[in-house]
Amino acid sequence: MRTQVGIVGAGPAGLMLSHLLHLLGIESIVIENRSREYCEARIRAGLIEQWACDLLRETGVGARMQQEGIYHEGIKLRFGGALHRIDFKQLVGKGVTIYGQQEIVKDLIAARLSAGTQILFEVEDVTVHDLDGKKPKIRFTHAGKEDEIGCDFIGGCDGFHGICRPSIPDGVLTAYDRDYPFGWLGILSESPPPDDELIYCYHERGFALYTMRSPALARLYFQCAPDTDIENWSDKRIWEELHLRLGGARKLAEGKILQKGITPMRSFVTEPMQHGRLFLAGDSAHIVPPTGAKGMNLAFADVRVLSRAIGEFYRTAKSEPLDRYSETVLPRVWKAQRFSWWMTQLLHRFPHESAFDRRRQLAELDYLATSRAAATTLAENYTGLPMA
């Protein structure tokens, strides 16, 4: 097989990269080790920054999001026994949209297949080769047969555990990471969410987040130990903990728990995000704790820059934008890391913290609730920093 850009990974980064390249008249082939059914059912984050919503609409894959997504003009912070609203629309004139990542994946897959792009699911034994040359290759097994994609560039969009980043020679990349001493126990419940906006709770037992996927589907989380065994948490015990941490600030309706699991918390960035003709995007290059809701938005920001750089190469034969890919996207990545870390340290209980630490957190939360300047900083970062 031969194409212009070979893309490893059919998550939001890989599919959006293929979509944006198609709009520029550039061909791509996407390969994915999971099945289509798995990709379209995998529950992940569902908060979309304002600019990313605009991108989906402007590129023709946002119709269902516009119809089914839930637009939010703010969030609520719960601490000290009360709710405090941060009004994004008033502060920065923007909001965010709740629309499940799996729904975006469905929309992008449908768009790519409708346009005739090849997406090969359930591939195995993927390797990348000749990254330093002008004709890199992707080798893999599909339907029991060995195959190869010859291409001009490779988009490494295969996630944190993928093969692209580890294929870069030793000594090229520098990794920066931080593991957090807690995780999130999360559920998807067949019940209405307790509020029409997200509620971020600071509680003596630990953080909790009350969000939604639709008016009838609640997505609820609470801080837990990183080695928590989900089997030790019955549905009854989960609901009791969620009620406790919400503290009666809103009525929490119980419903059938459709999914439950533990999400580990970590921060990770690799620099640079490229080597030769392999370019990393999304989770293959960086991971953020979910407190700041930046993962998918960062993936879209990466591929927006990458697709334009590839387009410039084919249009003018200039490689400078591609050469500068890492230095272009990494400032945004690090700002998202800073914000996600800040939200995490603000709202979570850490082991070995002192009474001083807890009082400092409460003081900062009170500052957010009472200072327009502080609330504006949160709103600007939460709804999405401007795109160049």
**What is the residue-wise DSSP string for 329-351?**
HHHHHHHHHHHHHHHHHHHSPPT
The answer to whether 200 is a known catalytic residue is yes
From 289, 294, 325, 348, active-site residue: 294
294 catalytic per annotation:
yes
Beta-carbon neighbour count of residue 333 at 10 Å? 21
Tell me if residue 318 is catalytic: no
Catalytic pick among 72, 94, 286, 348: 72
Helix (H) or strand (E) holding 189: strand 174-190
b (16+ CB within 10 A) / e for 3-28: bbbbbbbbbbbbbbbbbbbbeeebbb
Which one is catalytic: 99, 202, 221, 382? Answer: 382
Is there a catalytic annotation at residue 192?
Answer: no
Q: Among residues 180, 200, 221, 325, which one is catalytic? A: 200
72 is catalytic: yes
Q: In this structure, are residues 177 and 301 in contact, taking their beta carbons and an 8 Å threshold?
A: no
Q: What's the rounded Cα separation, in Å, for the pair 177 and 234? A: 33
Tokens 């490229």 belong to which residue? Answer: 274
Rounded Cα–Cα distance for residues 38 and 77 (Å): 34
Given 289, 290, 325, 348, the catalytic residue: 290
Counting Cα atoms < 13 Å in the Cβ hemisphere of 360 gives 10
Q: What is the set of active-site residues?
A: 72, 200, 290, 294, 382
